[in-house]
Amino acid sequence: MTTATAATTSLSSRGGFTVAAVDGEIDISNSVDLGTELSHAVPNDARGLVLDLSGVTFIDSSGIRTLFDLAARLANHQQLLRLVLPDESQLRRTLLMLQIPAVMAVFPDLGAATS
């Protein structure tokens, strides 16, 4: 039996960025842990973090808050936070409602985000 985990993260590196691909749902049960995990995953010499949300099927306001916090933390180290979000993702409306694109760059695919 596999228990439903809300979200899983896999890490890699590409184009000088740390790439984190998150799958599943992000809500108040896991958003804080996710933020901690991600901020520790980025070494100081990386250009920043590319967060691939292609596999995320739900994100709530706490998840959005995590993104803002993460962007602020990375900015302190002169590092960037970039998001990957396919055009057809349902998350797009949520991100727009909360002005995410004003704070961090959103790319339709990983290739564009890491170039």
Binding site residues, another protein, CB under 8 A: 1-8, 23-25, 27-29, 55, 57-58, 60-62, 64-65, 90, 93-94, 97-98
CA atoms of 57 and 76, how far apart (whole Å): 29
Q: Which residues contact 68 (CB under 8 A, 6 or more apart)?
A: 103
Nearer Cβ to another protein (77/86): 86
Q: Which residues contact 14 (CB under 8 A, 6 or more apart)?
A: 50, 110, 114
Nearer Cβ to another protein (55/105): 55
Nearer Cβ to another protein (96/112): 96
